[in-house]
Amino acid sequence: MSSAEDRDKSQRMEDEWSTEYAKMVGRFGDAAPKQATSPRSQSGLPLKSAYFPHDLDGIDVEEQIGRPGGFPFTRGNLAAQHQLMAWANQPVIGYGLAEQTRERMDYLESQGMIGYFGQRFYNLVYDLVSHEGLDPDHPAARGRIGQVGMGIYNVRDMERLFDGMDLRKINVVHITYYQTIPALAQYIAYGEKMGVRPDELRGNSMNWYHQSAYVGMSAFPADQGLKLATELISYCSKHMPKWNTTNFFGYGIEEAGGNAAQETGLMIAVGREIARACIAAGMKADDFLPRFGFQFSQANDFFEEISKVRAMRRMWATTMHDEFGARDPRSMHVRIHSHTSGAVLTAQQPLVNLIRTSIHALGAVIAGTQAMEVSAYDEALGIPSVEAHTLALRVQQVVQEETNVTAVSDPLAGSYYVEALTDQLARKAMEIADEVEKQGGFVAAQQSGWIRSEVEATSEQWREQVNSGERRIVGLNCYKVEENQEHEVFAVDPSLEQLAVERIQELRATRDNDRYEKAIAGLHVAAAEFAKAEVADLGSDRLMEASIEAARAEASTGEMMAVLKEHLGWAAPHEF
């Protein structure tokens, strides 16, 4: 507010509104819905039913909002949002073996899937067998080969997948869980084979060890995970300047049932932990921070999800600047891959999901995303069909080409509501991040089970609200129909399992066994040493180098993971 006089005017407006509003509520009496009398955001933050200029009183417009492209980047990383460069289409791709995945990559590209300035982007997810770090002939691989991701297990599979592509000209995201280092090693080794140096490779590693704090898949112990993440960042900061090393998996928090404040607050917490580890290992903030990225969920509460992204940009920039000495603007940018929420989609009346994802995608664009995956409408039924995958891409294209929301940077800036909510979320999220610090940092808060129980409590609350009907979900607890329609579900060809098994056996039979044995022995030595190392001892990159050598020697990802599991430990991360 510019003056006391303006403030009084604003307050008078609110008073007048408030009187009228109370009268209207009174007229509806007890029938007035709860959201009319005590409105809350979906993460539980108290809202007002209308906002006024003085609601921005506690917010410093210059320091906390700024301009698009200016610190603290609340309004976006760059001056231009989508005017010159649309976000990258990054549908998640991966099913079957190399050939099936490649077919879907080529198909989606033919349908207009495109990255920044026309670059080719491929957002590739590995299958369940890879995530568990197994080979396809392991007994637990049955029924899981090429499921929910691609069965790419070694350098030869990489050759089949990228056959004929120039790796220098494509950007490849490797969606791995805890097999991040072996998967990157395979890609580097494949690149070398094709005459492409690591410093020419573009793409992403997920480096998602932190997700074991809130996701129940088997994992390395939390402290070893932090070191593995640091190892990859250290190697890439020296040898792969174009490689995005780490993705902060906020999405997983909302998918696990957490809310917007938890999603962003916990990402600040893990950001602090990893930044501290990198500095302890001898790196400088401006050397590793520019290669960090984020994945956030875009879920149902339209304004809250947009405000969340704006709040995250402000919090990250401020934290990295103030606490870690970041000075390069790129070190303070939150580069976002938006993933529309899968958890809020329903198996009931699945086509309705297209409406939901369209709203989510619109929100992600308004929030200023850099890349996007729109969930397929049949997500709650199985692996996306070709039709569902195509329609998900069309959602992005409609928002981009037809709505004109791309004309203006940060179009909701200055909205009393959105600015107030952005500030409210930033405060709430920083409380969560600071609570984690008090507990000794992200790894400690994971080890104590605090993170999981916080997220789970929110998840259960959500579920109770759905059960009681307080939270309404179309097709699930209201507007229901008899679900007798059979939906055609996409299925992976079961004969591919046999092929995957034959291929891994052929690999073992035909690779240079002496070289393999030597490389695996080297990996054992490096892993044993790594297991005992403190974070501050890292920086020699011996584990990365040994992994790359193992990949060159045609070790499979499963074989490398077996070595890592043996030395670092591997277990389900949460008790019940």
Partner 1 sequence: MEQPIRVLLAKPTHDSHDRGVRYLARVLRDGGFEVVFMNFLLPEDVLSAATQEDVDVIGISSSAGGHMHVFIEIAQALKESGQQDVLLMGGGIISSSDVKKLRAEGVGRIFGPGSDPDEIKSYIRENARVATGTRN
- HSE value, Cβ hemisphere, 13 Å, CA-based, for 250: 31
257 binds partner 1 (CB under 8 A): yes
Q: Cβ–Cβ contacts within 10 Å for residue 470, how many?
A: 12
User: Minimum distance from CB of 355 to partner 1 (Å)?
Assistant: 17
Binding partner 1 (rule: CB under 8 A), the pick from 217, 352, 444, 531 is 217
**Which residue, 62 or 460, has its beta carbon nearer to partner 1?**
460
468 binds partner 1 (CB under 8 A): no
Binding partner 1 (rule: CB under 8 A), the pick from 47, 78, 408, 476 is 476
**3-class SS letters over 551-575:** HHCCCCHHHHHHHHHHHHCCECCCC
Where does 339-449 have alpha helices with state H?
A: 352-367, 386-402, 416-438, 442-447
Binding partner 1 (rule: CB under 8 A), the pick from 119, 467, 505, 513 is 467
Q: Quick one: angle between helices 180-193 and 557-568, nearest 10?
A: 140
174 binds partner 1 (CB under 8 A): no
Query: What backbone torsions phi and psi does residue 170 show, to the nearest 5 degrees?
Result: -120, 160
**Which residue, 37 or 453, has its beta carbon nearer to partner 1?**
453
**Which residue, 144 or 567, has its beta carbon nearer to partner 1?**
144
User: DSSP assignment of 509-558, as one string?
Assistant: HHS-HHHHHHHHHHHHHHHHHHHH--GGG--S-HHHHHHHHHHHTT--HH
| 173 three-class SS | strand
Sole window of 7-15, 250-258, 272-280, 423-431 interacting with partner 1 (rule: CB under 8 A): 250-258
Binding partner 1 (rule: CB under 8 A), the pick from 40, 438, 463, 472 is 463
Closest listed residue to residue 422, CA positions, set 43, 79, 13: 43
356 binds partner 1 (CB under 8 A): no
453 binds partner 1 (CB under 8 A): no
472 binds partner 1 (CB under 8 A): no
Sole window of 2-10, 231-239, 332-340, 376-384 interacting with partner 1 (rule: CB under 8 A): 376-384
CA distance 98 to 102: 6
Binding partner 1 (rule: CB under 8 A), the pick from 194, 343, 359, 531 is 343
Closest listed residue to residue 25, CA positions, set 50, 44, 42: 50
CA distance 327 to 285: 8
CA distance 230 to 207: 9
CA distance 232 to 539: 10
User: Minimum distance from CB of 455 to partner 1 (Å)?
Assistant: 9
144 binds partner 1 (CB under 8 A): yes
CA 250 from chain center: how many Å? 5
Binding partner 1 (rule: CB under 8 A), the pick from 230, 459, 556, 557 is 459
143 binds partner 1 (CB under 8 A): yes
**Which residue, 343 or 531, has its beta carbon nearer to partner 1?**
343
Binding marks (x or -) toward partner 1, 177..216, rule CB under 8 A? x-------------------------------------xx
Write down how long the chain is: 576
346 binds partner 1 (CB under 8 A): yes
Chain positions contacting partner 1, by CB under 8 A: 128-129, 131-132, 139-140, 142-144, 147-148, 177, 215-218, 252, 255-257, 343, 346-348, 380-383, 456, 459-460, 463, 466-467, 473, 476, 486-487, 489, 491-492, 572, 576
